[in-house]
Each structure stands twice: as C-alpha cells, then as structure tokens.
Amino acid sequence: MAKWGEGDPRWIVEERADATNVNNWHWTERDVSAWSSERLRQLLLGVRVEGPEGVCEVTDVSKLDGEASINNRKGKLFYFYEFQLKANWLGTSCSGLKYRGTIDVPNLSDENDEDDLDISVSLCKDQPSTPLMDLMKRSGIKEVRRVLGQYVRDLKSDFSQGMILPTADGQKPSTPVVTKKNQVKSSKTQISSDAKCSSGPPPCPKGVHIQTCSFSLKETFQTSADELYRTFINQEFVQVFTRSAATVDGRRGGRFQLLDGSVSGEFTELVPDQRIDMRWRFRTWPNEHYATVSLELLDRGDETELKAECRGVPAGEEETTREGWKRFYFQAIKQTFGY
C-alpha cells in the first residue's frame, strides 16, 4: 500500500499552499458515515405520530448498517449513501394499553428517491392486533419517509460545504451537480500530506490529533455484580437512572446514546457480570474523537467493587469527565436503585 501522500499521481489532489484545488480536477472525498449514522439515529428517534387510535413513537434504532461519502470531481459533487435500518416503536392506545412493533427500511440509498423507499411496519410477534397498526401505516410510514428525506437534504445542503474549492484562476466553480451512484463509481482517494480540512461543519473526521489524558475511578456498590452489569447495558435501567430517554443496544458492537444525546458511544467488549469496554464520547469533544472506557466488576460477596479506567480524554476535559462519571453514573445509580 502506498504511503500517505505518495502513489499514482492521478489520484493525488493537486493543491497550492493556500489550499486551492487546481481546477477541482482530481478526486477529493469525505467520509460521512459516522455523521450520517448519528444524524439518522437522531431523526428517527424524533418520530412521533398521534391519531384517534392513540400515540406511537420510535424508541430506539436497533440496526443501522451502511456507509456514506461525498466526492468532488471537476467541480461536481457525487453523493454515495446506502443504509439498512431497523427501529422499534412503542404505541399507547387511548385506553392506556401499550404495544410494541418494528420499522424496516432496507433500501435507503442514493439510487432511490424518497418516494421509492420501502418502509414496512409490523407488530412484535407476541403482540395482539391493535388499531395502532392503522395509525403507523397511515401516518407512521409517512413520518419516517419525511425524516429520511430530511437526512438526504441535510447531507446535500449542510455537510458538503467546503468540498468545492476555488480554481487555479481564483474563480468559483459552477453549481455542483448531484449525481447518482450508477453514473460514477467511487474509488479510494489518496491526498497529499499538506491538504487541509474544510472549515465547513462538521470538522474533518480523519487526521485530527489532539492531546489526551487518562484517569481511574473506584466505587463500591451494595449489589451483586450481575445486577450492576445489567444496570449499565440495559436500556430500561439506563433510562431510569438518567431520568431521560436513552438508546442502549447492550451487545458487543451495540451503540448507546443517553442524557439527551450528550453522551454516545459503542460497546466494544462485554464479559457478562465481569467487564464492560466501550468507546465513549461527550458531545462537545472534537468530532469523531472517542475515549476508551473499561469497567471492571469485582464481586465482593454482599457488594461489588467497580474499577473504571478512562483513556484518551481530551486534555483539559479530565476533571469535567471525571466528575460527570461520578455524578451522572455512580451517584445516580446509587440514588435511584439504593445500591
């Protein structure tokens, strides 16, 4: 594999010292997969419909597989995105009865227009039939289609800023052209080492190096290791001790989001009743930067000792992060469950 900034010159972005991409001739590419996943999750969790039958709302996104990128060639933008989505919804009838179901979207991609998306809703297998299904088919699907269309509009209007740079003669290129996947195939892009990230939102997710620090915490809980383990990875437990909506997929590779989106991450290793490893970030941290958090649970009979190791915290954020873990995790769990 060629080193960064070396290789076939046809795939190297030619830039001047002022970051001018000469004539926008070569490929530049921005990976927006992480941003897309977060934006899609945020939009879907906001889906809520009401009707004579009751109220239905999306409670969590259980599957979000895919990727997305934006490419610039000769002053034209090419958008590539392809996702498979699955979400869970909770319905409450007028009489107060609750029902659970799922939403499936197998074909969110640049090859399909918003109106062409296949969106299906269903009840979970153990749920009896309910008029709430009519509400989801009538209004729920329409709302899901709308927010998925909003994701595409956000991608094209906001996130593409900075992809089209001034040309060599100082003139701005013509208006970008949105092109579908079947017209141009994406290739891996190699750029010169002095290429600069765009100033448009969000910040460039690759090549950002920051100073970090680490810290350790130790706490004792008056409960068993298995109970404490479930408290951290079970969505209902998390929602109770944070007193807010949360999305928690308690599996290896499962993602979580809590405290109104202030905290998010992914479980990287789970050893039941013994260890929880995760990639963890706070919303105000540099884009795409995650700390590594390891929680070790030691069964001491009538109590459980928890050892937390947090590495990769941005310099200057150590005290805030440390106090956040003590207050919003440890103290909140003790006060809520009496541990």
For position 77, what pLDDT does the model report? 75
Which of the four pLDDT bands, split at 50, 70 and 90, describes residue 52? Answer: very high
What integer is the mean pLDDT of 146-158?
87
Cα(38)–Cα(287) distance, rounded to whole angstroms? 12
77: nearest Cα among 36, 24, 33: 24
What is residue 193's predicted lDDT score, i.e. its pLDDT?
31
Q: How confident is the model at residue 259 (pLDDT cuts 50, 70, 90)?
A: confident
pLDDT for the residue 310: 95
- pLDDT of 159 reads 57
- Where are any strands of DSSP class E within 200-246? 212-221
Residues 261-273 pLDDT 10s: 889 999 999 999 9
Portion of the chain with pLDDT greater than 70, in percent = 75
pLDDT in tens, 70-105: 876 656 777 889 999 999 999 999 989 999 999 999
Top pLDDT among 26 and 285 is at: 285
How many angstroms separate the CA atoms of 97 and 53, rounded?
11
What's the average model confidence in pLDDT over 43-65? 94
* Virtual torsion, Cα 230, 232, 233, 236, nearest 10 deg: 80
Contact 311, 214 (CB under 8 A): yes
Q: Which one of 16-20, 110-114, 174-178, 222-226 scores highest in mean pLDDT?
A: 222-226
Query: What does the pLDDT read at residue 196?
Result: 36
Exposure string over 52-67, b if 16+ CB within 10 A, otherwise e: ebbebbbbbbbebebe
- Give me the amino acid identity at 118: D
Distances (CA, A) of 317 to 104, 213, 216, 277, 321: 39, 9, 14, 20, 6
Instruction: List, in order of start, the domains of the chain with CATH numbers.
Output: 28-158 (3.15.10.20), 212-337 (3.30.530.20)
Query: What is the b/e burial string over 127-157, where b = at least 16 CB atoms within 10 angstroms of the residue's CB?
Result: eeebebbebbeebbbebbbebbbebbebbee
Q: What's the pLDDT tens digit per position in 181-205?
A: 434 333 333 333 333 333 333 333 4
Q: Mean of the pLDDT values across residues 245-258?
A: 93
Q: For the whole model, what pTM was predicted?
A: 0.45
